[in-house]
A and B are shown apart, each in its own frame.
Chain A
Amino acid sequence: MASLVGSRVERKEDTRFLQGKGRYTADINIANQTYAVFVRSPHARAKIKSVDTSKALKSSGVVGVLTGKEIAEDKIGGLIAGWAIRSEDGSEMKVPANPPLAKDVANFVGEPVAVVFAETLDEAKEGAEKVKVDYKVLKAVVDPAEAMKSDAIHDGVDKNLCYDWLLGDRKAVDEAFAKADKIIKVDLINNRLVPNAMEPRACVVDYNTASEEITLYTTSQNPHLSRLVMSAFGGVAPENKLRVVAPDVGGGFGSKINVYNEEIVCSWASKKIERPIKWVAERTESFLTDTHGRDHVTHAELAVTNDGKFLGFKNETIANLGAYARVFGTVTPTYLFGPCATGVYVIPAAYSNVKAVYTNTAPVDAYRGAGRPEATYTIERLVEKAAMELGIDKTEIRMKNFPTQFPFKQTLVHTVDSGDYVAGLEKAKQMADYKGFEARRKKSEANGKLRGIGVSSYFEACGIAPSAAVMSLGCGVGLWESAEVRFNPTGQISVFTGAHSHGQSHDTTFAQIAADELGVPMENIDVVHGDTDKGTFGMGTYGSRSLTVGGIAIVNACKKIVAKGKRVAAKMLEVNEDEIEFKDGEFVALKSNKKKTIGEVAFACYLPGQRDEMKSPIPEGDEPGLIESSFFDPANFSFPAGSHICEVEIDPDTGNVKVEKYTAVDDFGRIVNPMIVEGQVHGGIAQGIGQALHENTQYDETGQLMTASYMDYTMPRADNFPEFNLGFTCTHATSNPLGVKGCGEAGAIASPPTVMNAVIDALGGQEISMPATAEKVWKACKAMKKSNAKAA
């Protein structure tokens, strides 16, 4: 039987998605449901003097109005920071309380202050307008660099500083810098991004007054984790009385990791008003309150020799956390960022110092790549600038500093198990026709255009786990993943996973893996996820972990099924277990060539006996049934890597930047489904190009989000992209039995510096910040013309 792993199997989920049959949270309606509308702070920072709900309560159709006062009285806990980060001086990070409904003070525009439940959505909206909140507006803190000089937003958080974190050795770095021929410096802004999942957040809550169980349907990347947090920290209900279901989820990019205010409030309130509740975010609410991404201000330096060897690296970053620290908010700019900031290079000495600050803006959390795009942007801008300043070819300087031995002990934390960075970059050069660039540049020049080429080589640490490692870095939970493989008596198989697809094609990829392991057609396999009442437990999907952690748990559970199947088949075929071979779904007795299919064995496991004969196929010590589970905790992170090359053409008259060519060569280890992997890379590159050229989240100085709709926030569109030219090198990971590496975030990690390096190349080295919008580029072109004229 041909292996399914490695083939371009069409996606099982496409049938429902392309026919409009997906079932999302907002599609769910429960008899007798009420509609929730949240009253949100219109101010970035304001004292809540009073909340008058009397008029709203009298409004037509209103069933209930709840405020921060009631939720505090019921001792419902708030939102949490999932990682505890320690400052350089050893002190613990400062995390303010984040109540689900603000009671005394509101800290960003859109923060929920009260909620209205009514019979219809219109009545709920009408009621919400009648809630009178008396605010005393305070001066907002918006700029992250200014935050440390501003009044404290939260009591007890001096200088708005959550932590001042250090990774690495300052002294060793100073020594390395003293030996350098040249110091390359960059000042960078990693622009804040709004995730913009296609499906806005939503929740539907059904409280069962008989069983006292709450069922929460929600848009989550990790329903089990949501249940744990809501139960352990929110105190909404004990875990056994709380069922969390995340049905089809239409994109998340990290923004649906967090348990949000609305889910906690609606779950708590459903019990209180004894009615089901439905809440669906409007797009403006998504812009204002989904956790945002990035938002770093960085100064970084690279110490180099004249012949292009890297000696040392330092990185001083201010990370904007927004108003509150959320689940991955504190780890994204530290352990997901600092270790990767030295990139794919051998750099003897390095440190990253990150100051995370609170501001009166939407909370910032993990967003596709989480920390690693910021890291890659930092090092790859430095490397490209070093090549320019030293007059060394930009690919040659990279090759010169790549490690050639694996495992590669990277400067700060990671030991990278496998890779071949030289092969990746060589392949990218070839595919991009790197040599032919000069001719293309001249051609552009003849047409009055500026052409630039940019390179970026990246690695990233993903597949987040292993539990001991992440917990040692401050994570509040272990990051293993679970799976259960359940054979039904009639031979179909349900594969339960704790990972949860919000666009990653788990139905297909996981079925491919299980079908290969069990030797059955993948049509017989259903992948089940997203329901705490179905799967045992799980950590969810983020950090490119589904396949490398969750997929391996499936493999291991399948292996247990086969092991038990072998014992049962041996008894059925009356041979010793070691005389049985399992191949293509059949247990074969080697000597006699008699066989039992895995389906027959499963049947026998459930119906272990027959009429008139007292003979069980179940060996002594085994139990009936054919269900196995596995909790997989890998030995290491997964380290995808690669090199991307981009060519842009700039119209100096308008400043328009056109991405002419984009080549990506990635190493994702063994590839399960090339078509799905290509889709992930396409999406990632699109997001990265969006960050580099288009997406420009803007708050004004009072903390109002100026780009809170698609009229003003530029989402990249298909006509902003060229055809992507993708290639792969596949050095298998050694940290898991499939040899796979994560692929979900790589595109978004590698592409911003690749594009920006190309833009800056076209501008003759003139630095420009992201996003490189037309006007910014036009201004740079004008400056270039002036300096060229002077030189002439």
Chain B
Amino acid sequence: MKSFNYHAPKDVKDASKLASSNSAFLAGGMTTIPSMKLGLASYKDVIDIKNIKKLSGIKVSGKSVTIGATTKHAEVAASKDVKKAIPALAKLAGNIGDAQVRNRGTIGGSISNNDPSACYPSACMALNAVIHTNKRKIDADKFFTGMFETALKSGELVEAVEFEIPEKADYQKHPNPASRYAIIGVFVAKHKKDVNVAVTGAKSCVYIDQDLSKKLSSNFSVSAIEGMEVKSSGMNSDMHASAEYRANLVSLYAKKAVEAC
């Protein structure tokens, strides 16, 4: 690992001031630290945001669940409030990585990194999340812009993620046997007016499967999507899973998720 300056600001303003094109915000460090250790990334300044109190915590209102950026997966998984309001979200958090990862990794880190196989982005998309940054509010569908890319600008920091509470929801994932990231993950959320089926792992970036969402919006049942073919075009194909296999899994896990709702 190359030497760097370590900062641990106490508030967002200071954190933002320290940021440059050669800096990284550090939350759980689940990706940043291994990348630095392997020499894949190096920074002049590493800005640790774990000490910024206002970035951590869970708030539930009548309509939404807001989770602070540095809230750990284990905290979300164990939260009674989350379990009551959006059990699927607690379930998703409880199945990320392993116990060590869940006790370090954070929601802000996960969505800012936007790994194409990460679990949280699918929840953001399906639950019409609004991403609160120190500069603005961004709708989830505008936030995830590509593989490891987001709408965040230099110095912009995720402060919290606000999820809309759905009527029903479920998350199902097929883990990569090695890394246990999602080979594919499907988050199905039934809102009052419509249904969102968000898919992670299958393509270079999380997306809403419009066909499945539309079908389920008019008839929320397994039979509505039975026999519906999910196209493999544009899906990832690698040594862990072909595009064809991923497409099969998306359709299968969508049904599983609807069934579990």
Contacts and interface: CB of A to CB of B under 8 A. Distances in A.
The answer to whether A and B belong to the same complex is yes
Interface of A: 122, 284, 653-655, 694, 696, 698, 706-707, 710-715, 773-775, 778-779
A698 B179 CA distance: 16
A773 B245 CA distance: 12
Contact of B177 (A706, A774, A778): A774
A277 B2 CA distance: 22
A654 B174 CA distance: 9
Interface of B: 1-3, 38, 174, 177-179, 181, 239-242, 245, 248-249, 252
B240 A712 contact: yes
Contact of A706 (B1, B174, B179, B239): B239
Residue in A655, A713, A714, A775 whose Cβ sees the most chain B Cβ within 10 Å: A775
Contacts of B1: 122
A191 B253 CA distance: 30
Contact of B178 (A653, A714, A778): A714
Residue in B38, B177, B239, B240 whose Cβ sees the most chain A Cβ within 10 Å: B177
Given A284-B38, A707-B239, A712-B239, A773 B177 contact: yes
Contact of A778 (B3, B181, B248): B248
Contacts of A779: 245
A713 B178 contact: yes
A756 to B, nearest CB: 17
Contact of B179 (A653, A712, A775): A712
A712 B248 CA distance: 21
Contacts of A655: 245
A712 B177 contact: no
Residue in B174, B241, B245, B252 whose Cβ sees the most chain A Cβ within 10 Å: B245
Contacts of A698: 239
Nearest to A694: B177
A411 B245 CA distance: 45
Contact of A654 (B2, B181, B239, B249): B249
Given A122-B1, A122-B3, A654-B249, A775 B242 contact: yes
Contacts of A711: 178-179, 181
Given A714-B178, A775-B241, A778-B248, 5 more contacts: A122-B2, A122-B3, A653-B248, A710-B179, A712-B178
Ordered nearest first, which 7 A-B pairs have the shortest CB separation?
A714-B178, A711-B179, A714-B177, A775-B245, A653-B252, A712-B178, A698-B239
Contacts of B239: 696, 698, 706-707, 712
14 contacts: A122-B2, A654-B174, A654-B252, A655-B245, A698-B239, A711-B179, A712-B240, A714-B178, A773-B177, A774-B174, A774-B177, A775-B241, A775-B242, A779-B245
Contacts of A714: 177-178
Contacts of A715: 178
A325 to B, nearest CB: 29
Contacts of B38: 284
B3 to A, nearest CB: 7
Residue in B2, B242, B248 whose Cβ sees the most chain A Cβ within 10 Å: B248
A189 to B, nearest CB: 16
A686 to B, nearest CB: 15
A654 B177 CA distance: 13
The prevalent SS among residues of B at the interface is loop
Contacts of B3: 122
B180 to A, nearest CB: 9
B106 to A, nearest CB: 20
Nearest to B174: A654
B252 A710 contact: no
A772 to B, nearest CB: 12
A779 B242 CA distance: 11
Nearest to A774: B177
Nearest to B249: A654
Contacts of B248: 653, 778
A759 B108 CA distance: 42
Contacts of A774: 174, 177
A109 to B, nearest CB: 16
Contacts of A653: 248, 252
Contacts of A713: 178
Nearest to B181: A711
A781 to B, nearest CB: 11
Nearest to A655: B245
Contacts of B178: 707, 710-715
A776 to B, nearest CB: 10
Contacts of A284: 38
Contacts of B249: 654
Nearest to B177: A714
Nearest to B256: A653
A525 B141 CA distance: 69
Contacts of A778: 245, 248
A699 to B, nearest CB: 11
Contacts of A694: 177
A697 to B, nearest CB: 11
B226 to A, nearest CB: 13
A655 B249 CA distance: 10
Nearest to A715: B178
Nearest to B241: A775
Residue in B178, B179, B239, B252 whose Cβ sees the most chain A Cβ within 10 Å: B178
A122 B242 CA distance: 40
A710 B97 CA distance: 12
A698 B174 CA distance: 22
A284 B40 CA distance: 13
A646 to B, nearest CB: 19
A484 B163 CA distance: 71
Nearest to A700: B239
A122 B252 CA distance: 49
Contacts of B252: 653-654
A710 B179 CA distance: 6
Contacts of B181: 711
Contacts of A706: 239
A18 to B, nearest CB: 19
A69 to B, nearest CB: 27
B26 to A, nearest CB: 19
A651 to B, nearest CB: 10
A710 B38 CA distance: 13
B92 to A, nearest CB: 18
Contacts of A707: 178, 239
Nearest to A706: B239
Nearest to A776: B245
Contacts of B245: 655, 775, 778-779
A636 to B, nearest CB: 42
Contacts of A712: 178-179, 239-240
A529 B245 CA distance: 52
A774 B241 CA distance: 9
A743 B146 CA distance: 53
B181 to A, nearest CB: 8
A710 B101 CA distance: 14
A255 B248 CA distance: 39
A453 to B, nearest CB: 23
A714 B240 CA distance: 10
A627 to B, nearest CB: 49
B36 to A, nearest CB: 12
A413 B239 CA distance: 41
Nearest to B38: A284
Contacts of B177: 694, 714, 773-774
B133 to A, nearest CB: 29
A710 B3 CA distance: 26
Contacts of A775: 241-242, 245
Nearest to B179: A711
B32 to A, nearest CB: 15
A477 to B, nearest CB: 39
A28 B68 CA distance: 43
A123 to B, nearest CB: 11
Contacts of B241: 775
Contacts of A654: 174, 249, 252
A711 B248 CA distance: 23
Nearest to A693: B177
